[in-house]
Amino acid sequence: MDFKDDEKNELSKKEEIINQAMDHLFQSSASGNLLHGFQNLIDSSFKDVQTTIDVRESDEGLYVDITIPATFRDGEILIDIKSRYFHVTLQEKQKEQNASTLTSMTRTVQLPYEVHQEQMETSWSEQTMTLFFPKNKHE
């Protein structure tokens, strides 16, 4: 039993040394720098197309703030509400000579209570679209 435990401990130590060496190799090598730079490029690219949805409740009703990325400002904004689920779809169509590209992003959030789309009021402030849903009298 002692021999097997010693053997397992020795293998664990060797595995840890190998893992540390691999981490060091990839973090300090040119390929590690390339991977790190590529990750930063991807992260910064996605910051430009991220949208946030904030839901605020007040005595008057429910506010939904949607941050619209600049890449979608000239596109379509589609709102769909089913029960307590709020769906927003952003679409941007780009045409180039004989081809066109459609970029689309959909986000869904659950609202604290059911709202009615036909009562929705919309306003804009810079890059944020705010939707307001008045509270029903019976709520």
Instruction: Write the single-letter amino acid at 40.
Output: N
103 and 129 in a single domain? The answer is yes
Q: Give the global pTM.
A: 0.59
In a domain, 70, yes or no: yes
What is the CATH number for 130?
2.60.40.790
SS3 content of the chain, % helix, strand, coil (to 5): 35, 40, 25
* CA 31/CA 89 separation, integer angstroms: 38
118 and 67 in a single domain? The answer is yes
In a domain, 139, yes or no: no
Strands 128-134, 121-125: pairing kind = antiparallel
96 and 69 in a single domain? The answer is yes
pLDDT digits (tens, 9 = 90+) for 99-138: 877 778 888 899 998 888 889 999 988 888 899 999 875 4
Instruction: Write the single-letter amino acid at 131.
Output: L
- Residue 44, classed as helix, strand or coil, is helix
Identify the pLDDT of residue 75: 80
pLDDT digits (tens, 9 = 90+) for 66-91: 988 777 767 888 889 988 899 988 88
The residue segments making up the domain with residue 28 are 2-47
* CA 100/CA 35 separation, integer angstroms: 32
73 and 125 in a single domain? The answer is yes
In this structure, are residues 62 and 56 in contact, taking their beta carbons and an 8 Å threshold?
Answer: yes
Of residues 90 and 49, the one with the higher pLDDT is: 90
Strands 61-67, 53-57: pairing kind = antiparallel
